[in-house]
Amino acid sequence: MKRREVQPGVEWLGAVDWDRRLFDELIPLPDGTSYNAYLVRGEDKTALIDTADPTKRETLLAQLADVPRIDVVIVQHVEQDHSGSTADVLARYPEARVLASEKAKPMIVDHLAIPAERIDIVADRSTLSLGGRTLEFVYSPWVHWPETMLTYLREDRILFTCDLFGSHLATANLLAGDHPRVMSAAKRYYAEIMMPFASMIRKHLDAIAGLPIDLIAPSHGPIYDQPSRIVDAYRRWVNDPPKNVALIPYVSMHGSTAKMVDHLVAALVERGVHAVPLNLTVTDIGEYASDLVDAATVVFGTPTVLVGPHPKVVFAAYLTAALRPKLRHAAVIGSYGWGGKAAEQAQGLCASLKAEWLDSVFVRGMPDSKTFAALDALADQIAGRHLKLES
């Protein structure tokens, strides 16, 4: 991909990574991703905002082939998918200075081996004139690292946001428009990366509320030409109470737990609860994370492996707690062959979850009428509590 004009004097560059299918060796990327950088030219200075993942450094350097001078490289966030080609850019432009937040400077030295002498700290809300264009730096810690900052281009009313508002979406579209795929990718990204920091995100949304914004230019995914769509969505995701949704991530080895899940799903639906069973052997964990943004209840379904939950349920339970969703209620159901403590261990993995634990339902072998009655009682508990969600 060549450099593309966002508007006169402001260009997109970087890379669309169509083929990447895993991020952090953890997060599935069904739609690939992009690493966006931006070139902003003033009358006196040229700034490069972010770079690209080191696997795409050659792409970035080729895009800069006819750019004679870069005065400043703004490292908004030190994670390598954005900063990882900074040293290569500095080698090409020996006069360029790195601008970063106070917390970012030592991290750039440690993570990127860039000498501290080449890095200038910019203060929160400080500005830099490029000549006819003014950059304002807005500290935004904990989206999802402590050193991150946004950059606001005043005259053009563009807010560059690095990870914030991003989406793992490889697309040839420079602008998001009103394409629904963009919002589902952005929600998934929020769930995977931003949700544990919802309280900080809320503050950042307030901090940028006073800025007139025509474009939001993140460093993953397309540029938002209707900024209110993504800002309003973020407001809903961080502020709205959970919805009448019960997620049931589960594994079944010999069919007992699957029968229990089927029964519980039917019982919840009968009671007006939107139940979502997720077989963890085939579920994309990013979709589960995305569902967690709105869910009020999670019920883990697990057989017993040795004395604990199935390892795939262990992973789901750990991840659920780590993502800090708005869940209000949780439970564990499942089966065992000869004994064990699967329910207690699954609950222990979610110790940090601020949810009310409802009665677990476990059976040795196949579920029977007593098991189904206990699942009906659990469905009653969940449905009764969901009635009060808006209050």
Q: Kindly list the residues in this chain that would bind ligand FEO in the complex (CB under 6 A).
A: 77, 79, 81-82, 144, 163, 220
Min separation Cβ 218 and ligand FEO, Å? 9
Per this entry, what is the length of the chain?
391
CA 128/CA 45 separation, integer angstroms: 10
**3-state secondary structure (DSSP) of residue 391:** coil
| 56: DSSP letter | G
Min separation Cβ 77 and ligand FEO, Å? 6
* End-to-end alpha carbon distance in the chain: 50
Min separation Cβ 121 and ligand FEO, Å? 20
Our CB check for ligand FEO shows the closer of 3 and 77 to be: 77
Work out whether strand 46-49 and strand 72-74 pair parallel, antiparallel, or are unpaired: parallel
Min separation Cβ 119 and ligand FEO, Å? 19
Min separation Cβ 175 and ligand FEO, Å? 20
| Type of residue found at 321 | A
CA 174/CA 217 separation, integer angstroms: 10
Our CB check for ligand FEO shows the closer of 46 and 140 to be: 140
From residue 94, alpha-carbon distances to 46, 72, 88, 109, 120 in Å are 14, 11, 10, 17, 15
Our CB check for ligand FEO shows the closer of 164 and 261 to be: 164
Q: Do residues 205 and 238 lie in contact, with contact meaning Cβ atoms separated by under 8 Å?
A: yes
Q: Do residues 342 and 309 lie in contact, with contact meaning Cβ atoms separated by under 8 Å?
A: yes
Our CB check for ligand FEO shows the closer of 187 and 220 to be: 220
Min separation Cβ 144 and ligand FEO, Å? 6
- Taking CB atoms, the residue at the shortest distance from ligand FEO is 79
Our CB check for ligand FEO shows the closer of 182 and 305 to be: 182
Return the number of other C-beta atoms located less than 10 Å from residue 350's C-beta.
22
Our CB check for ligand FEO shows the closer of 197 and 362 to be: 197
